Structure 1
Amino acid sequence: MASLGRSALLPQCSACTRRITQLSWAEARQPFQQQVRCKTKAARQAERDVVAVLLNDTPRYGAAGTYITLNPAIMRNKWFPQRLADYVPWQKVKQLKKDNVTIGRDPEFGVQRALQEDEVEDSELVQQRKPYVRPVEIDFISPERSMELLTTFIPPTIEFSRQRIEQDEVESKPRYGASNAADILTAAAMASKPKVSKNAIYGSVSTADVVSTIKAALSHNDEAARVVVSENDVRFVQKGADSDPTKIKELGTFKVEIKVPGAEEPLIRTVRVRARKAEEQ
């Protein structure tokens, strides 16, 4: 058992004691090393750049005589051979720094005039490059020719089929046990009920239906398909003050007027509304 006064971490042999002693003396002889941060890429690049003086006015760099810093490779391969800039001796650079002379390029030099010229050129290009929009050319047909085409392609009779409204049959059987008051009320209700024509139909035949039929008939010819017909150009000719010139609500045969704007005389055609058969429903 190890002694209580002696640490168990101390070396137990002479070899271990000698090794530990040598390491301690080596660490003591080494000087204190201070941590140094690495230089940035920009700082390293600034140390490598060379100072040059411009020989001519150079846009975005400066006027002639301006001191700038350049990459050694670019200075050696481009600026110095083309006589754009010349090297500055290190003695001169030292004197410039001592005199606080600005060494650096001027990015705004000669840019304002160039930008104005570019803006003028760009505006001219935009005006020249505006797409040409060809105006729509519509070859209108004269009213006289339109009426001739309507007369040729519209048949004399335009047919439509609609479902007839079935009439309610009045009960003729006697009502046993009904009072006189009930009979009076029934008679009053029957009298107030509006009478429906026996030829009444569900819905109607309107001028829009006639226009659709006319357009379908004109579509078979290229010239006739250019004829413009609207609902205002079609009118039913019906008898009676209550007649609606825009629609028909019963079976029968009716006259319709078709007149395009500018025509002198309307075209008269017959519209026949027949009862729809059971197989057509």
Structure 2
Amino acid sequence: MASLFAARPALLPQCPSCVRRVTKFGLTGVVQQQTRHKSKAARELERLITVKLLHDFPKYGRAGSYVPMNKSQVRNRWFPMRVVDYVPLDEVKKLKAQGVEIVRDFNFGVAQPLVELEEEDEGFLQQKKHYVRPIELEMLSAERSLELIDTFVPPTIDFARQPIPQEKQEKSQARRHGASEAADILASITIKEKPKANPNAIYGSVSTTDIANTIKGALAHNDEAARVVLTENDITFISGYEEEDTSRVKQLGSFKVKIQLNGAETSLERTVRIRAKE
């Protein structure tokens, strides 16, 4: 046994288990070497291939961008539909050497929820006050303005307001001693006619001015849409208003508003959702 170990000292076992195994089978065979398996991330990278987008592709990028895609999807679906084109390996190396980003844009073409800016976010708008947009001589038509509003404003606009805590109503009212029956009857009728408090009431209100400002913020990200002229007089509440005041709502819930621009034959409807501020 000593002669066996002396023949190949570099392969001398280091643990009792290995010594027993070598003693049983000898050292004449090829010693197996442990290999590490590839990680999941490495296996995922092997399934990707760099392609060039031929059209705007939501959740991937604009036309002309270089993005990684799954090989099987490219082969079976996107390449036969002429959505993407293969990029040779040598060209990929040149792109990387030139610093061209080969990444996927997950936010491209995805509509983001439109919510009202909180008070602490107003500083972001104040930083851009130094920029003055040049005067546009060409005015957009009312129909084109409605098309842009329909494109960039989602179906639901969210607002957050503080609800008013409701006081507990007394279930019964004690009868006054010594009062006449007529006075008691009149008091009971007055209590019955008193309107109940609205459990969804809020502090302040959501007005058409708030909605117009929120819509303008959504249109400001596009050069053409930023030219749309919209005022609070172009917006009216269809439901949820009180006392024939169609310019504001004072309760939680979802309500419909109509956007009617001067000179347009059609109008738009959007849902205004007022939720309790956390």
Q: TM-score, with normalisation over the residues of structure 1?
A: 0.44
Q: TM-score, with normalisation over the residues of structure 2?
A: 0.44
Larger radius of gyration: 1
